[in-house]
Chain A
């Protein structure tokens, strides 16, 4: 079956696009799917370091587009997950080195070989975003429960709708359940009501994300991390499984401890 092309975007920078791309892709690859990630953030590449593949770059996206190498030569295979590949961005060029039609052509070439093509979009609404969204079958908008991130997400959703890409799906990242409980952070329901698109996943704030990124290992491969579990849940939903949304209550809270005790006891 030809691959689905999925673009992860947000408008605002720093909300977790690259982390989400790396982890959802890794979770899908870990379950046996063949996945390739394209870093579309030319000039500010980071998907390579988040995936721990930075030392293996020889060719990049711009080399492929400009014909200096074959597509296959620019694909870095992850040794831990042999079904996961990365096409890194060029670091010394800018967004104009690639056009939206280049991206469409590239993805058409990748489709027959893969189950999933992930595109990590740069922040912003300019050329880099246009490049990233052009070949998308599915677009994912990621946001944080903060006013600036929500506003930018709304703008991006409007632009995706204007491109007639079909409604994007939403990931709310870095939720702090204890702040939500105190009324000091927008809840997932609040954000969902404001943005009014279909929810794909909720990811709690989790220090393990920083720790695993330090090591260059996707947190989705860490069986104990809550964020890792949330990313695996998103991967399952993309495969078409019905997975309930993670409860965003305080992980160490007394109630949740009792609940998880019962859950473990009851299998």
Chain B
């Protein structure tokens, strides 16, 4: 009954879609051997290296693993601070 309520209120996704979302994350970690802890560390180190050369928006830095078929790709999105914003800041 509560499941029916959940579904009517669209409160939680089906168990199958939960399984799929969980598996996506698990498989990325299994395939790359990169834990979220390592990924965080990588992000911090990247920020350190890049900030030495150019000013970046540290709060907005995103690092993630994207997948295409069975290939994994490390994607880093690092917004640069513009000169104008730098003056304001």
Contact = CB atoms under 8 A, between A and B. Distances in A.
A154 B31 contact: yes
A176 B19 CA distance: 16
Chain B interface size, under 10 / 10 to 19 / 20 to 34 / 35 or more = 10 to 19
A151 interface: yes
Interface stretch (B10-18, B34-42, B43-51): B10-18
Given A158-B31, A196-B69, A151 B17 contact: no
Contact of A147 (B17, B22, B31): B22
Contacts of A197: 70
Nearest to B13: A183
A125 to B, nearest CB: 12
B16 A187 contact: yes
A248 to B, nearest CB: 13
A147 B23 contact: yes
A30 interface: no
Given A151-B26, A186-B19, A161 B14 contact: no
B62 interface: no
Chain A, interface SS category: helix
Contact of A186 (B16, B31, B69, B70): B16
A155 B31 CA distance: 8
Contacts of B17: 183
A151 B16 contact: no
Given A161-B70, A197-B70, A154 B27 contact: yes
B27 A151 contact: yes
B70 A190 contact: no
Contacts, number: 46
B32 to A, nearest CB: 10
B20 A196 contact: no
Interface in B35-89: 67, 69-70
B14 A183 contact: yes
B24 A194 contact: yes
A26 interface: no
A221 to B, nearest CB: 33
A184 interface: yes
Contact of B70 (A147, A183, A187, A196): A196
B16 A184 contact: yes
Contacts of B15: 183-184
11 contacts: A147-B22, A151-B30, A154-B30, A154-B31, A161-B70, A180-B16, A183-B17, A184-B15, A185-B16, A190-B20, A193-B20
Given A150-B27, A184-B16, 9 more contacts: A154-B30, A161-B70, A183-B16, A186-B20, A186-B23, A193-B20, A194-B23, A196-B69, A197-B70
